[in-house]
Homo-oligomer: A and B are copies of this chain.
Amino acid sequence: MRLSRRHPRYASLRVRLRLADAARRGLVVPEGLVAHGRGEAFDYLLGERTTPSARRAARAAALWLLRARRPVLSVNGNVAALAADEVAALQRAVPGLGVEVNLFHRTPARARAIARELRRAGVRDVLGVRPSARIPGLPSDRAQVDARGIAVADLCLIPLEDGDRAEALRRLGKAVISIDLNPLSRTSRAADLPIVDELTRALGAIRRAARRLGPRVRDGRRPPFDAPRALAEALGAIDARLTRAARGPPRRSAR
């Protein structure tokens, strides 16, 4: 399908084409495409931009990551397909950031394909290809993690993660930063620091903030983050946009 750069939703449509292509290559599963569509709807309602509240969350996330002892970024098929370059760039900006393949629908071949995609983008020491530990409280096929990664992490950055796993990580006492466009999802509600923003925008915002902060901020405790407030702000942004949309634009105009 050809896509005009002048299309009002060019960025969103380009992302969708990229994901559909990744699905054809087996990197992304059908359920991942459906999940992406849910995100698209929320992004559309948020105005397809990083809200000021999400920008503050990304800055807080950068500081938390820099101050963590063992931070790990969890990567599933959608994340690898959409943001392998951003994952590599964030790893360069956050010293010691582990990157772990963490799949809901895991097959050894898919885990290897995702690891390849990450390495090709420049990610070093990809974890989780051969899981060596388990998270308690999850069905066995979804509990698998890397003994050198999520299993021992004090802080997990979980983009596009399923609610059960987000809650399981919390129960283990790990600090959890989520990236999820749905402010009502269990993942967003379970997170200590929910970022309600589109994946690549959020990863870019965290990376830029980490670069600006630099290694000099590494010592010190994690400053508190008001998660319920961040979620309420995201709902407020959606609400404001719906209210505007209900007033206009006039019927039958292109949006």
Contact = CB atoms under 8 A, between A and B. Distances in A.
Interface of A: 1, 16, 19-20, 23-24, 29-31, 33-42, 44, 105, 167, 170, 182, 184, 186, 189-190, 227-228, 232, 235-236, 238-239, 242-243, 245-246, 251-255
Contacts of A20: 29-31, 34
Contact of A246 (B36, B236, B252): B236
Contacts of A243: 239
Contacts of A38: 37-38, 40-41, 44
Q: How many copies make up the complex?
A: 2
A37 B35 CA distance: 6
A227 B251 contact: yes
9 contacts: A19-B34, A30-B30, A34-B34, A34-B37, A37-B37, A37-B41, A184-B245, A235-B245, A238-B242
